[in-house]
Homo-oligomer: A and B are copies of this chain.
Amino acid sequence: MPRRTPEPTDAETASKSARTRSRLLDAAAKVLSRKGFAGTRLSDIADEAHVQAPAIYYYYPSREDLIEEVMFVGAAAMRTHLAEALDALPAGTPPAVRISVAVEAHLRHELEISDYSTAIIRNANQLPEPVSRRALAEVAAYNDVWRALVADLEAAGQLRADVDPAVARMMVLGALNWAAEWWDPERGSLDDVIGTAQSMVLHSLRP
């Protein structure tokens, strides 16, 4: 009697494995953002991802490893997304335009991967150091990109004298990060949020 489904090829197995891994990460981000580190159980993640809980161990050796990966993947994706948006700009793009592009890149990506964003916002400072180490390094690198954006604006003589650059950077990032906590796609347009944010950020910094 023939088998009802053909044996998968190696490539098919790898692809299915990658999809399951990705579904587990998405599910873990969702549970982590809602229940916090201590409250996130593998059984909740399994339910959310529609897999059997023990199957998770095929992909991640422990609950901590899965959560560590969620935090890292979310933070790294933010940094990569911002870097790509800035790299795509022509050489000589004025600092203010680069900041405006960075505001849009931050908001679009943050709200698109909102479970990862809120997972990071709510848990980054609650995790044991081994679980947060790689994610916090990505967050620090992300901060460095913004530090350079503000420094370039200052070097161009476009940062107001009454604005402390370090405080300004954290205020802008706070305003942008917080959007993941309040933005509701059913109650307003993302383009309106981005437009207002770009205008507010540039006016908050420039003379």
Task: Using CB atoms and an 8 Å cutoff, list the residues of chain A in contact with chain B.
Answer: 33-40, 118, 121-123, 125-126, 160, 162-164, 166-168, 170-179, 181-182, 188, 192-193, 195-197, 199-201, 203-205
Contacts and interface: CB of A to CB of B under 8 A. Distances in A.
B181 A39 contact: no
A197 B40 CA distance: 36
A175 B37 CA distance: 25
A205 B177 CA distance: 19
A82 to B, nearest CB: 18
A30 to B, nearest CB: 12
Nearest to A160: B199
Nearest to A176: B174
A177 B174 contact: yes
Contacts of A33: 126
Contacts of A201: 204
A126 B201 CA distance: 29
A147 to B, nearest CB: 13
B193 A200 contact: no
A111 to B, nearest CB: 13
A188 B166 CA distance: 10
B179 A170 contact: yes
A167 B36 CA distance: 27
A126 B34 contact: yes
B174 A179 contact: yes
Nearest to A174: B178
A175 B171 contact: yes
Given A39-B37, A170-B179, A200 B196 contact: no
A175 B179 CA distance: 10
B196 A162 contact: yes
Contacts of A175: 171-172, 174-175, 178
